[in-house]
Structure 1
């Protein structure tokens, strides 16, 4: 009885030539410390041949097959480069993942970056040569919708061996946090000397608590700066002591334990107010001393748009008003109702 164990793909062989007169013969083949190279199809083959006579033809060989399927063992989880605690809208993010797997047969390293929906964002396959393999995924001009969990995974597969199963997917996940800008603030004039600055929290801050808000307001072409901080429950502040009819710009920023978010800006103009008095009021008599030419300069503070000027002429003795004249100019001539050598009071 001739019995053999054969593995054709790997060229291994063990055999038994049993001369005993028993009805059942057996041949065991043991594989210790199973390796990936032991995977494959194994054939048990036997035939009967005459012991002493060369004239007796051996029986045909009888074969039975079995397979040894080996699963590639798992390696270490992939390593992901450390991310910032949070990113701001418009930043660029480079997700970098690396893995090393020692292998003694030809294998492939298959790596992917996945989003929170398990959709593949980027993939890479390379021949495993026992060196570090790296895969990157870049998010340019990050937006709020890019916030979430990202997962790097890899497995090891055989390149050309149908009896070797790939390893499990080994994963490492990271969270990308994007701090949003607060919703557009409002700056509303409530008088000629005050404004109310109000805002709403960011659309999302990825569960990172807001601990407060910083604000800064400055005057345009006017010496004014106001900075301050308020708690996370305060969503408005009143600005006082402003100059009428001037433009002011403010920005508001949400603050977390990781720092400042992106500032949101707003502009507004305070209400108009009464102008200050005109400067350099002058008068001269003309035309035989019965007419006045009156002229003046602009007020130091217009406090708005000057529509016109009113000139009032009254008697010096009893303040009786003789004329209330309106003009858009910086001079006016008064030629009626005046008496020579009589004193008058002129106001503008």
Structure 2
């Protein structure tokens, strides 16, 4: 089995009540060619930006590798170094739309497949009260086991883990990728952008614990990279942005009736139909067992870290091990969703 035969690049989009993961899948043998073509576009963008403003490379957000990041929201909204400093009567933002479309053409050129996992965060946030009640019940069980009250910091961390859309959906995507790779008897690597809500929670630690217990043998440890310089993450950003901008109005129409479509919405719709939809898959809707086990593992990590090395820490670790093993036994018989296909060709 050849390692990393596929590369999965994952980025998120969040607006209002919508949160989604967009995943771009590329064959490893195509990566070098993809990077060359993508960076060629970045170089042409750089040359135009410098022509407009020779001092643009001194902008505080200018990437370390010397090439501008193809960042969808900044380009679509003319933000950061994509905002023309001197007055101009030209609709210069239209060229940024053209650059974004060129980026989408590159994704299409390499026949990269696209997967999406959208969730309605009202559903997630609406479950917070239920989750809070369940967490309070769990806390009472833990406190009864260790014979003392838990610090507020532990309770806060457990609630954060349970109510975060990112922390909720990330293991679901990871499990779907794992099943996809296993069913095709190949391996793959996953690169992700840094996400604010993951600070304090080590996904890598969770991954290693899961791998020790027999999960995630086909996908390598998630690599959290800098989207400022990683071309495939930039592609995932552009794809996720188009997906999110296209799906968000659909969500709003379902709630509030007709929604006025803007000129920008029309452009997004054209890009979605032309570049996204033909190679788009959606991860299955049935949650497999692995994310539930992951949830237990994150709780175990939170308890371990908050407990420290003293007597409380030892009691918490003892409780976490007991709960984890019991949960693993209960979940091991759960059915796993059918694996979606890998890229064609």
Please say whether Structure 1 and Structure 2 have the same fold, judged by a TM-score greater than 0.5.
no
TM-score with structure 2 length normalisation?
0.17
Which structure carries more relative contact order (alpha carbon 8 Å, separation 6+)? Answer: 2
* Higher helix fraction (1 or 2): 2
- Structure with bigger gyration radius: 1
**Structure with more strand by fraction:** 1
Using the size of structure 1 for normalisation, the TM-score is: 0.17
